[in-house]
Amino acid sequence: MSQLVLSLFPGIGLLDMAFEEEGFCVVRGPDYLWGGDVRRFRPMPGRFDGVIGGPPCQFASRLAHMVRQNGAEPTFGNLIPEFERCVREAQPRWFVMENVPDAPVPIVGGYRITAALLNNRLFGADAHRERRFSIGTTEEWPEGWQPPGVWQAEIAANVRAHSPRFTYAGGDDPQELATKRNRKGTMPWNHKGAKGFRQALRAQGLPDDFDIPPFTVAEKCHAVRNGVPLPMGRAVARAVKRALGIEVTSGTFERENPQ
């Protein structure tokens, strides 16, 4: 049976795309980008196996301090409480929330939660970008669910498989390997217009022909840059799948070790 997943704050759906590639069935919730408002959204309980999403990060980004120094506030406030509310109402078995490194980890009663700071360069990408992923489950860490120490092992496996230019020794911290390689800014987005859009697509792991027809070029750049990089999203989706003890076979989910 397929895993049905609710996506909150989907944006243009890059994290959704990564989970769909791994065989999850993703249902997109409302998003400000398309005229929706999550604050009016009430998910039905017991319908979704998982919930994924990344609330707007402007309030916790390091650039937000500059905005406040100029006497303004970021466009979006802290919407993590709305993510937490939707999880409580939907009652999924598990959830994944992504955000900037300085954002708080979500707290939802009845869920055991662990977080990991991931760097996009760990998964074969050239761009240096860090995001915090918080994973919650209702269960008592069943076999396969990964506390932080095992997350590091999962990251190391992805380094070996998808980023051979890194040299990984058993005692090294793979996160440090990535950050040492490139501390010159976060993303190579120095250009505007069509050239800047192509840069954004490549930095996020998207093909050159990816497009969002309703938007202007400037809006397309902004939307793509706000998404979760595909290499990172794929790695997280695979980690969740392994954590659940299921694998995708011919488009369906099957238990790796059926009882």
> What is the residue-wise DSSP string for the chain?
-PPEEEEES-TT-HHHHHHHHTT-EEEE---GGGT--GGG--PPTTS-SEEEE----GGGSTHHHHHHHTT---SS---HHHHHHHHHHH--SEEEEEE-TTSPPP--TT-EEEEEEEEGGGGT-SS--EEEEEEEESSS--TT---HHHHHHHHHHHHHHH-TTS---TTS-HHHHHHHH--S-S------HHHHHHHHHHHTT--TT---TTS-HHHHHHHHHTSPPHHHHHHHHHHHHHHTTEEEETTEEEESS--
pLDDT for 169 equals 39
What angle do the packed helices 193-203 and 217-225 form, to 10 degrees? Answer: 20
Residues constituting the chain: 259
Residue with tokens 């695979």: 238
- Whole-prediction pTM: 0.78
pLDDT for 109 equals 93
Tokens standing for residue 129: 């970008």
For residue 224, give Cα distances in angstroms to 118, 125, 229.
19, 16, 9
pLDDT for 59 equals 58
pLDDT for 114 equals 83
Determine the residue type at 3.
Answer: Q
pLDDT for 63 equals 55
pLDDT for 76 equals 57
Within the chain, which residues score under 70 in pLDDT? 1, 58-76, 124, 126, 140-191, 246-259
Q: Name the residue among 139, 144, 125 with its Cα closest to residue 245.
A: 144
Quote the number of domains for the chain.
1
Tokens standing for residue 175: 């996160």
Q: Is residue 244 a contact partner of residue 132, using CB atoms and an 8 Å limit?
A: no
Which range of residues forms the domain containing residue 86? 4-255
pLDDT for 6 equals 98
pLDDT for 252 equals 43
pLDDT for 89 equals 97
* CATH number for the domain that contains residue 141: 3.40.50.150
Beta-carbon count within 10 A of 86 CB? 23
- The arrangement of strands across the sheet holding 130-137 comes to 25-28, 4-8, 50-53, 94-99, 130-137, 112-119
Q: Is residue 29 a contact partner of residue 69, using CB atoms and an 8 Å limit?
A: no
Beta-carbon count within 10 A of 254 CB? 11
